[in-house]
Amino acid sequence: MDRIQALEVFVAVAEAQSFAGGARKTGLSAPSITRGINSLEERLGTRLFTRTTRRVRLTDVGLAYLEDARQILEHLQTANDIASGAATNPVGQLRLTCSHEFGRIYVMPVLSEFLDLYPDVSVDVVMVDRIVNLIEEGFDIAVRIGHLPSSDLSAVKVGRVRRVVCGSPEYFGMNGMPRSPEDLKAHRTVAIRPVSPSPEWRFGYDMDQMVRIDSRLTVSSVASGIEMARRGWGLTRVLSYQIGPDLESGAMQTVLEDFEPEPLPINLVHVEGRRAAAKVRAFVDLASDRLRSVAVLN
């Protein structure tokens, strides 16, 4: 096993936290993985992992070595891309991460078009409702909703979303519309935990107005909460993009618009400079154009 392959094996085992997981990721056998790690540790004269019967963990030296190993492999990939033309022609695998509902409703249509335009590119999409570290977890692009911290990453703003209270026309026809946040106490509400983790719902541009909402129904699924509101059972609070198709069709409508908090920006975040391969630039260009054209995101 050469030194580059040994680094790839080391990173794979570290990310999987197991030799078996590293073997699956690299396509090597478990014995080959074990021999590779043992040889690497012998060459370095130090332990990179502590082993237990269930998993392996990085030592302090291993943690520091992991960051350096990733950078070496990334620089090598950049050099290979430039030599092979991937820096100017979209080829290879694009890894993208986004939230579940945004990905389902808005990213997948863009990806369908992107794959048709660039047949030499494959895409791996990971939909998770958490902030993913692009560098550490090996992603090319992240779709981020919310204000961004300072970083060395590039960000392209493609829209914004509102935090809205919504319900079906049938519900409003039977129960009337709330005119102020306090009026919500007299309405049936569905609390969606990922959107409203606290019973205190905040309103106002600076979120300086708080109303305690004692919902009879609390769900962990955004889609389930929206479905209950769509059926006319009660009101719920979501991000505007999550009911974009319902707003366009008239199946749902929003209330209390004058009391909404400041909208949240939507950004395509990616590694900048010469490390941004053609596949990344091509997707960012296409997605920026398509997402900016969606009225509910602006």
Who has greater pLDDT, 1 or 130? 130
Q: How far apart are CA 7 and CA 1, in angstroms?
A: 10
Mean confidence (pLDDT) of the chain: 89
Indicate yes or no: pTM above 0.85: no
What whole-number percentage of the chain has pLDDT above 90? 54
Instruction: Look at residues 175, 162, 150, 161 and name the one whose alpha carbon lies nearest to residue 235.
Output: 175
Task: Say whether pLDDT at 273 is over 60.
Answer: no
Which of the residue ranges 57-71, 101-115, 171-185 would you say has the lowest mean pLDDT? 57-71
| pLDDT bucket at 81, cuts 50 / 70 / 90 | low
Asked whether 21 and 13 are in contact (CB, 8 A), the reply is: yes
* 274 pLDDT higher than 60: no
Residue 67 has pLDDT above 90, yes or no: no
Q: What is the mean pLDDT of residues 17-39?
A: 87
Domains (ranges, CATH) in the chain? 3-84 (1.10.10.10), 92-159+264-297 (3.40.190.10), 163-259 (3.40.190.10)
Beta carbons of 124 and 138 less than 8 angstroms apart? no
User: What pLDDT does residue 263 have?
Assistant: 94
Report the pLDDT value the prediction gives residue 74, as an integer from 0 to 100: 77
Residues 6+ apart with CB under 8 A from 171: 229, 232, 233, 234, 235
| Average pLDDT rounded to a whole number, residues 52-70 | 85
151-197 per-position pLDDT tens digit: 778 899 999 999 999 999 999 999 999 999 999 999 999 999 988 88
Q: Which secondary-structure segment (H or E) carries 141? A: strand 141-145
H/E run at residue 210: strand 209-212
Residue with tokens 């890894």: 95
Helix (H, G, I), strand (E, B) or coil at 99: coil
Query: Given this model, what pLDDT does residue 86 score?
Result: 53
For 109-122, how does the pLDDT look when each residue is reduced to its tens digit (9 = 90+)?
999 999 999 999 99
279-284: average pLDDT: 93
pLDDT band at 26 (very low <50, low <70, confident <90, very high): confident
CA 49 to chain centre: 29
Instruction: Name residues whose C-beta falls within 8 Å of residue 122's C-beta, 6 or more positions apart in sequence.
Output: 92, 93, 94, 115
Question: Average pLDDT in the 263-292 region?
Answer: 87
